[in-house]
Amino acid sequence: MTALTTAARERLLAGMTSIASDPGQARDALASIELWSTAPGFVSYQPLLSALIERERFDLLLDSFYRVLPFGTGGRRGPVGLGPNRINPWTLGTSVQGNIEFLRARFGADASLSVVIASDVRVFSDLKEAFPAGVSSPLLGMSSVDLAQQAAAIYVANGVDVFMAEPGSGRYLSTPELSFLIRVLGAQGGLNVSASHNHPDDNGGKFYTELGAQEVPPYDEQMVDLVEAVREVRSCSWEEAQATGRVRFVGEDLHEAYLADGSLVLSGTERGARIVFTNLHGVGDQTVGEALERAGFEVHYVPSQRAHDGSFPGVRFRAPNPEYPTALQQAEELGTRIGADLILATDPDADRIGGMAPVEGGWRFLTGNELSALVAAARFEGAPPGKIGIKTEVTTSLFSRVVLAAGGQLVDNLLVGCKYIAGVLHGLETTGESSGVTGSVDDVLIGTEESHGFLLRASTRDKDAVPPALVLAELTAVRKAQGSSLAEALEELYKAHGAVANVQIPLVMAGAVGRGRILAIQEALRRTPLTEIAGRAVTAFHDRQDEAGVFGPIVSGTDRSSRDVLAFQMGPDHRLVIRPSGTEPKTKIYAEAIVPAGDDVGQALIEADRQARELATDFVRHALAAIGMELGPAGLFCSPLLGIDERVAFASQVLPGAVAQAEAGVPGPDIAAQVLATLQGWGGDGVGMTADGYRWWRDNGDAPPSVVQALDPIWSGE
């Protein structure tokens, strides 16, 4: 591809400026596009780039080129594609070269360095059809293992030793196993090529320190600066890297050591629980699955989700996240058939754990907050006073009440990211004090996040699904032997500590435009904080970027970004938090309400949930109003996986449009065909992701019977 003509440049700039939230974004994108159009290193991408320019895909071009993909709470993660704001060999390669420069600066230019590399099961297939069909693309078929081998070759070419699983062996290293091995092997760092639970079209690279944790501010910004300064990547071929002897494949002995260490959380001998487990096509069968089996539990795998397949074909919406009940539907069916006592699930890189407990007439999905409280109660039972529990600010207050009632010390205000929990551990092991608690790392019984993340042992400094899975399995077995259940254990916690309801509403806002909206919402609410939410007076407002607040001075740009958290308190029992996600294109809204449990825990939980949802729903209205958007109830009830533009359009255009067509005499089949075509154009499973929204509109709105009759068949299979 030759340099852009003047006319092409002007057309590109005008097209991107028309949708950019800042004209500077369009100018930056154009400069990057011109570089990728002419530089020899990008020759293989140029046919695809040329096709996007010819088709005037201004939205995709702007978002792909306007910036360098930043680091977030989980590292650098995003859609696979061409451009500096996408995951591709250039993005990963410059990141690795920058990480090498960072390690040299930290340990010395002549220091002997080694890293551990892990990778997940992903293979890019462009399932969202972002790119024109039939155009040559070097990205199709690119796997996480391919990127891991590329990274290994870069490390080796720069004199750094590499430990990794042998490609093609069928063995993978999970995220927690990577953290464990860094510490065991005495490596100076690590890299995980993974996008965790994101869509199959995503990928990423998470870098780790010698502590087995992700870097925290301000040091993560130092690495970002070094990455951005990279102008040349020193590499070699995979074959040449192997020939040096610097690439060493991790053996079964280290895997055994990881599993054995994780089993130390077991406290008794009860193993009578029958467990359904699903790895959601990821590597959790080699960690949680094996750990449960070796501990003596009866484990049944979900066959349709067992294969290591990075397109996640057996998971609804291709969303392999145990935070979503839809990911556990097939496990629930199997659990019912075999009479299981517990369902457990892991995300693709096996750092998050999800679960369900049997109740009368079916199954109860356990939220990350409920799992945190259950595991905390089990860990603190019988423990001496002074042991430590750690949680992030957005994690349930039920966890706090459990820890304090057990005589424990509590850290409860951390920013989101397990790296901050790991930071508390590091403070304890170096000074004996951290975040207001005192003791050693052995005193920490649990660190947790509401997003189904747990850290239960000091030997691993990132989320690890193995220990909480074993704790939950053992707790289930103990309860079963007593004639009780996990659901009853949870009910007892609510009865003892109050009915605590936590509701999260994520709003997906993709692309450069979406990023601008997310930041605009934060700025508007920061500039003019709400004084009332759902009729409740705001009694306290906390901006975590406030340097006079709990976190003190801002030490870097990455610190400022991580602290983009706004918290609203409505008396002692109601609170709401909003923050941008660090790993996905969304803003997250968290609401909590607490009511006394009384004699009827079930009714108290219903009331607490109603109040929390009132808070969250009203706050969504205020947040979107700040950017000139309005989300009707039908859109609010759609799947949180659906983008905000589609949710707004569904409530304000698609359904009202169907009514207007019916009133104009358009035949029902024609109306249904047009609605279906719209939903299918939204990518993924547009029908499934709007099903709950449609049902709300049908059952609670003023939907004409003739329109309902026409549209019902679209969702009848849902």
Residues 409 and 503 in one domain: no
Residue 438 placed within a domain: yes
Residue 248 three-state SS: strand
Residue with the two structure tokens 């508007």? 524
Query: Which one-letter DSSP state was computed for residue 208?
Result: E
Question: In Å, what is the CA distance from 649 to each residue of 463, 644, 670, 692?
Answer: 37, 8, 19, 15
Residue 23 placed within a domain: no
Residue 24 placed within a domain: no
Q: In this predicted model, what pLDDT tens digit does every residue of 197-214 receive, in sequence order?
A: 999 999 999 999 999 999
Residue 76's pLDDT is 80
Number of domains the chain contains: 4
Residue 555's region, left for phi above 0, alpha for psi from -120 to 50, else beta, is alpha
User: Hey, what's the torsion of the CAs at 247, 251, 255, 260, to 10 degrees?
Assistant: -130
CA distance 416 to 427: 18
Residue 42 placed within a domain: no
Domain boundary among 497, 530, 550: 497
Residue 395 placed within a domain: yes
| Contact status, residue 688 vs residue 621, Cβ threshold 8 Å | no
* φ, ψ for residue 268, nearest 5 deg: -145, -160
> How do beta strands 114-119 and 202-208 pair?
unpaired
Residue 55 placed within a domain: no
User: Cα 215 to chain center, whole Å?
Assistant: 18
The amino acid sitting at 361 is G
Domain boundary among 441, 474, 497: 497
Query: Which one-letter DSSP state was computed for residue 671?
Result: H
Query: Which one-letter DSSP state was computed for residue 582?
Result: S
CA distance 141 to 704: 47
Residues 412 and 467 in one domain: yes
CATH number at residue 294: 3.40.120.10
Residue 221's pLDDT is 87
> How do beta strands 362-366 and 388-392 pair?
unpaired
Residues 471 and 517 in one domain: no
Residues 356 and 416 in one domain: yes
Residue 72's pLDDT is 56
Query: Which one-letter DSSP state was computed for residue 325?
Result: G
In the chain, which stretches have pLDDT less than 50? Answer: 718
Domain hosting residue 648, numbered range: 639-715
Residues 616 and 675 in one domain: no
* Cα diameter, the chain: 79
| Contact status, residue 450 vs residue 592, Cβ threshold 8 Å | no
Residues 83 and 156 in one domain: yes
Residue 44 placed within a domain: no
Report the sign of the C-alpha dihedral through residues 103, 108, 110, 112, in that order: negative
Q: What is the token pair recorded at 21?
A: 């939230």
- The number of residues making up the chain comes to 718
Question: In Å, what is the CA distance from 695 to each residue of 41, 58, 718?
Answer: 51, 35, 11
Q: Do you find a cis peptide bond into 79, omega within 30 degrees of 0?
A: no
CA distance 144 to 162: 16
Which residues share a beta bridge with 589?
A: 505, 578
Which residues share a beta bridge with 40?
A: none
Q: SS3 sequence, 373-408?
A: HHHHHHHHCCCCCCCEEEEECCCCHHHHHHHHHCCC
Residue 229 three-state SS: coil
CA distance 331 to 348: 16
CA distance 533 to 23: 35
Residue 598's pLDDT is 86
Residues 323 and 302 in one domain: yes
Residues 532 and 570 in one domain: yes
Residue 437 three-state SS: strand
CA distance 274 to 299: 6
Residue 74's pLDDT is 52
Residue 718's pLDDT is 45
Percent pLDDT > 90 in the chain is: 90
Mean pLDDT estimate for the chain = 95
Residue 600's region, left for phi above 0, alpha for psi from -120 to 50, else beta, is beta
CA distance 426 to 421: 9
Residues 621 and 660 in one domain: no
Residue 8 placed within a domain: no
Residues 434 and 334 in one domain: yes
* Global pTM value: 0.94
CA distance 468 to 461: 14
CA distance 675 to 34: 40
User: Cα 165 to chain center, whole Å?
Assistant: 24
Residues 516 and 611 in one domain: yes
CATH number at residue 542: 3.30.310.50
Domain boundary among 229, 250, 271: 250
Residues 443 and 588 in one domain: no
